[in-house]
Chains A and B, each alone.
Chain A
Amino acid sequence: MALLEVEDLTVRFYTEDGVVKATNNLSYRIEAGEHFGVVGESGAGKSVSSLAIMRLIEDPGVIESGEIRFKGQNLLELSAEEMRTIRGNEIAMIFQDAETALNPAYTVGEQIAEAVRHHMDLDDAAARDRAIEMLDSVGIPDAAERYSDYPHQFSGGMQQRAVIAMALSCDPDLIIADEPTTALDVTIEAQILELLEEVSETFDTAIQLITHDLGVVAEFCDRVMVMYAGHPVEIAAVDDLYYNPQHPYTVGLMSSIPRIGDTRDRLQTIPGRMPDLIENPPGCNFHPRCPYAEDVCARREPPLVNVETGDPADPINSDSQSAACLEHTGDLLEGLDYQVTVRGTDESTGDAASTDGGVSDE
């Protein structure tokens, strides 16, 4: 049994404009201490799936079906009270916008001490000491002094550190980090990622990292789920995802990022944009943008399958690479044909590492 098992999670928002199918039959698992990445474009359903784990989906949103098993227990069956305990003590969340996660009316220290008092049953003085320790451990200089600063007196990077301190105060087993470094400069991003890395190593904390940044994923994650229009389109170990992607959307993402040292004049693009989640295209959601789309793609919805065997994927019990493209169920006439070039700026070789990601039948 993994630390977290999400099975067939479906979330809908009943809005005036129509029903938003934010996540559809989402299944994945996260092991203790693992770094699991969720990538995709804006509106793909990344945040909704994380909020669902925390049971923070609000009206008009509904978790329609599925199970979210944390340490074997289905979170969707817990009472609100039990869920609060889990949220406080075992699963913590870090958001992109640290400023809104902190209450501007209280000092940063007080807010952490409050969280600590709550979880560890400490008196005021002990909670204060513990909070200072936490601030210090996330690299806030002069923690004792900064304890009494208000959030606005912290820079963006320091606010994010404070939020991490707060998340850590309960010694969680799982941290869900939604774009934790997107608002930060690269030099500060590097500091925060290093901090998260350290924390997770020291306490064996699992991290679900949601991001649109393929650099951050490559650096930080062990396994990755790619989402498109509310659907998981590929789940793979990070190395396979970059060197041997099996879904045309993943391939498109990989080739549209500018890489340092890359001499291409033009970037490859994915034409068009992601559909809104109210009116998804029929068949494969990606077909209007897919360079390999065939007639069948507009008719048949590709199931997520093991790319080796073509059998239905089992992302909870198996580590196999899986993708949702009709190529892997043998339904395409022409097949896929692409090459992926991952070029590191490793001076020692300076070579382009090139992998043939083509899966077309020769």
Chain B
Amino acid sequence: MSQQGTLHRPMGVSLMSSKEPLLRVEGLKKYYEAENDFLSQLLGRSKTVKAVDGVSLEIGEGETFGLVGESGCGKSTIGRTILQLEEPTAGSVYFRGQDITKLSSEELRNLRTEMQVIFQNPHSSLNPRLTVNDIIGEAFEIHDIGTESERDTRIKELLERVGLNASHANRYPHEFSGGQLQRIGIARALAVDPDFIVCDEPVSALDVSVQAQILNLLEDLQAEFGISYLFIAHDLSVVEHIADRIAVMYLGEIAEYGTPEELFTPPQHPYTEALLSAIPEADPRWDGNRIILEGTVPSPINPPSGCKFHTRCPKVIPPAGYALEQDEWRAILSLRTRIDNGNIPLDQFSGDIATAIREEYDIPDTIPADVDRILSEALEAVAVDDFERASSMLDKELETPCAVHNPAIRSTANGQVACHLFDDRYADGTVYPETTREAN
């Protein structure tokens, strides 16, 4: 579970203080019921996908807030939930101080004139049967804005403003290129003169030269109209370019946030560091160290305990009292995760099973004797198919705070980070009982 703070401000009190940001998200959660087969329904074992699991953030007027992370980490869900296109499971979204999760559908519709969205795929997000005029004018229709001729004038203005020809108004989407369609999508969002736009991967489908045009356009519009953006993208270099502040997400939670400078200055959250190092640098002379993360993002149905990144983290804290090197501990912990999940196909191993397992899962032969003894014992249990015993043995003897406590977001010299490495109490790998944790 998330331990992020939820400071509930009493409603109705000083809604528009000067400190109040344009948008404030608190403890936002969005869970989906995973597809359940008949049997698990019958047995009441429904599964929950924790797409967004306790996210808090603030976006100021005229600010661009970047949200990055790998596919499936919950970026788009946050965007949709903020817009109230989906109902949050928990948490609040304050827009100009008002909790918009509690609005009536009438109020929500009015809110659409202040909050808009631009999607990744302009081909599928624009109705192919409508002319550009109708696509952009739809909002005027819905909100009953202006007379016919006022609308026409406004549409022409908008088209020119986003770099298209006013004469394009009567054409259909299929007559445009991807970049032009994205401009139409932007014009549609601008039509109602919003203060806030969620841009969900607005340039990922575009070629680099067109991508640059659209990024510049978004920045110009912001400068002109003071719009705030929530800019969602998987491409860290695009986000770094456009955002004032950035949040890095992993499995439904925020791992780190700060300004681009803060985020890219070490020390960072180990996930941010890995993500950053994975970006191929457009410089053939670059020879930085690439951190290759093992495996893929775990399923959000049954996410790892403690810090959700601990199953892949290259800096996961070693257990107290042993002289384990980082790579040794990483290999042991990954094997332990497998054992916890019963994910070792015993029938595929022959000969001495314990040895075969060590070999298959690349356990270094350098690990210190005391740890090796524990591991041997656990593997013996695995060999006789007693995963539970192996698992509890390893959990008890070789525990890391990373697998027990979910790190809270804390301020560091470089932005805010959710990682025990930034918490002195965990420096020696001791796992403190939950009760000694500072209240947050």
* Interface of A toward B, CB cutoff 8 Å: 41-42, 141-142, 144-145, 155-158, 185-191, 193-194, 212-220, 238-239, 241-243, 252-254, 256-262, 265-271, 273-274, 342-346, 353
- A259/B237 contact (C-beta < 8 A), A186-B275, A239-B285, A344-B286 known: yes
Kindly identify, within residues 86 to 121 of chain B, every residue whose CB is under 8 Å from any CB belonging to chain A.
Answer: none
* Interface of B toward A, CB cutoff 8 Å: 70-71, 177-179, 207-213, 215-216, 219, 234-238, 240-242, 264, 274-276, 278-288, 290, 292-293, 295-296, 343-345, 348
**B345 near A41 (CB under 8 angstroms)?**
no
A254: min CB distance to chain B, Å: 7
B246: min CB distance to chain A, Å: 11
A144: min CB distance to chain B, Å: 4
CA gap between A217 and B178 in the complex, in Å: 24
Partner of A219, one of B210, B280, B345: B280
Q: Which residues of B contact A156 (CB under 8 A)?
A: 71
A96: min CB distance to chain B, Å: 13
**A346 near B296 (CB under 8 angstroms)?**
no
CA gap between A212 and B178 in the complex, in Å: 15
**A186 near B234 (CB under 8 angstroms)?**
yes
- A215/B279 contact (C-beta < 8 A), A41-B207, A258-B215 known: yes
Task: List 15 A–B pairs whose Cβ atoms lie within 8 Å, in order of A's numbering.
Answer: A145-B348, A185-B234, A190-B278, A190-B290, A215-B281, A217-B282, A219-B284, A239-B285, A256-B209, A260-B264, A267-B215, A269-B209, A269-B213, A345-B264, A346-B288
Further pairs besides A257-B212, A273-B207: 12, Cβ < 8 Å: A142-B343, A144-B348, A215-B280, A217-B282, A239-B284, A256-B208, A256-B211, A267-B216, A267-B241, A270-B212, A274-B207, A342-B282
Q: Which residues of B contact A266 (CB under 8 A)?
A: 216, 219
- A344/B285 contact (C-beta < 8 A), A186-B275, A273-B179 known: yes
CA gap between A219 and B277 in the complex, in Å: 12
Q: Which residues of A contact B210 (CB under 8 A)?
A: 41, 273
**A186 near B279 (CB under 8 angstroms)?**
yes
Q: Which residues of B contact A190 (CB under 8 A)?
A: 278, 280, 290, 292-293
Specify the chain A residue showing the minimal Cβ separation from B206.
A42
CA gap between A271 and B210 in the complex, in Å: 8
A286: min CB distance to chain B, Å: 11
CA gap between A182 and B155 in the complex, in Å: 36
B353: min CB distance to chain A, Å: 14
CA gap between A260 and B287 in the complex, in Å: 15
Q: Which residues of B contact A344 (CB under 8 A)?
A: 281, 283, 285-286, 288
For the complex of A and B, the 4 pairs showing the least CB-CB separation, nearest first, are A215-B280, A258-B241, A256-B212, A267-B212
CA gap between A189 and B207 in the complex, in Å: 18
Q: Which residues of B contact A259 (CB under 8 A)?
A: 237, 281-282
**A218 near B293 (CB under 8 angstroms)?**
no
By CB atoms of chain A within 10 A, which of B207, B235, B293 has the most?
B207
Q: Which residues of B contact A353 (CB under 8 A)?
A: 283, 285
Q: Which residues of A contact B280 (CB under 8 A)?
A: 186, 189-190, 193, 213, 215-216, 218-220
By CB atoms of chain B within 10 A, which of A261, A266, A269 has the most?
A269
**B274 near A187 (CB under 8 angstroms)?**
yes
CA gap between A256 and B343 in the complex, in Å: 46
**A189 near B241 (CB under 8 angstroms)?**
no
Q: Which residues of A contact B282 (CB under 8 A)?
A: 214-215, 217-218, 242, 254, 257, 259, 342
Q: Which residues of B contact A346 (CB under 8 A)?
A: 286-288
By CB atoms of chain A within 10 A, which of B179, B275, B285, B344 has the most?
B285
Q: Which residues of B contact A217 (CB under 8 A)?
A: 282
- A260/B293 contact (C-beta < 8 A), A41-B207, A214-B208, A214-B282 known: no
Q: Which residues of A contact B70 (CB under 8 A)?
A: 185-188
B174: min CB distance to chain A, Å: 13
Specify the chain A residue showing the minimal Cβ separation from B240.
A260
Q: Which residues of B contact A188 (CB under 8 A)?
A: 70, 296
**B212 near A189 (CB under 8 angstroms)?**
no
CA gap between A217 and B284 in the complex, in Å: 8
CA gap between A269 and B235 in the complex, in Å: 18
B401: min CB distance to chain A, Å: 24
Q: Which residues of B contact A252 (CB under 8 A)?
A: 209
B376: min CB distance to chain A, Å: 22
Q: Which residues of B contact A216 (CB under 8 A)?
A: 280
Specify the chain B residue showing the minimal Cβ separation from A343.
B283
A134: min CB distance to chain B, Å: 16
Partner of A257, one of B216, B236, B237, B343: B237
By CB atoms of chain B within 10 A, which of A216, A239, A256, A268 has the most?
A256
Specify the chain B residue showing the minimal Cβ separation from A132.
B348
**A41 near B208 (CB under 8 angstroms)?**
yes
Partner of B281, one of A185, A218, A253: A218
**A238 near B207 (CB under 8 angstroms)?**
no
**A268 near B285 (CB under 8 angstroms)?**
no
Q: Which residues of A contact B288 (CB under 8 A)?
A: 344-346
**A41 near B209 (CB under 8 angstroms)?**
yes
Specify the chain A residue showing the minimal Cβ separation from B239.
A258
Q: Which residues of B contact A189 (CB under 8 A)?
A: 278, 280
A268: min CB distance to chain B, Å: 7
CA gap between A268 and B296 in the complex, in Å: 35
Q: Which residues of B contact A186 (CB under 8 A)?
A: 70, 234-236, 275, 278-280
CA gap between A145 and B342 in the complex, in Å: 13
Specify the chain B residue showing the minimal Cβ separation from A265.
B219
CA gap between A218 and B288 in the complex, in Å: 13
B415: min CB distance to chain A, Å: 16
Specify the chain A residue showing the minimal Cβ separation from B266.
A347
Specify the chain A residue showing the minimal Cβ separation from B73.
A185
B345: min CB distance to chain A, Å: 4
Q: Which residues of B contact A238 (CB under 8 A)?
A: 284
CA gap between A189 and B296 in the complex, in Å: 11
Partner of A187, one of B177, B212, B275, B345: B275
**A258 near B286 (CB under 8 angstroms)?**
no
**B208 near A257 (CB under 8 angstroms)?**
yes
CA gap between A333 and B67 in the complex, in Å: 48
A193: min CB distance to chain B, Å: 7
Q: Which residues of B contact A187 (CB under 8 A)?
A: 70, 274-275, 278, 292-293
Q: Which residues of B contact A194 (CB under 8 A)?
A: 290, 292
**B279 near A242 (CB under 8 angstroms)?**
no
- A157/B284 contact (C-beta < 8 A), A41-B209, A187-B70, A273-B179 known: no
Specify the chain B residue showing the minimal Cβ separation from A143.
B348
Specify the chain A residue showing the minimal Cβ separation from B349.
A144
Q: Which residues of B contact A243 (CB under 8 A)?
A: 284-285
- A269/B216 contact (C-beta < 8 A), A190-B292, A256-B208 known: yes
By CB atoms of chain A within 10 A, which of B71, B284, B344 has the most?
B284
B317: min CB distance to chain A, Å: 21
B162: min CB distance to chain A, Å: 14
B240: min CB distance to chain A, Å: 5
**A155 near B296 (CB under 8 angstroms)?**
yes
Q: Which residues of A contact B290 (CB under 8 A)?
A: 190, 194
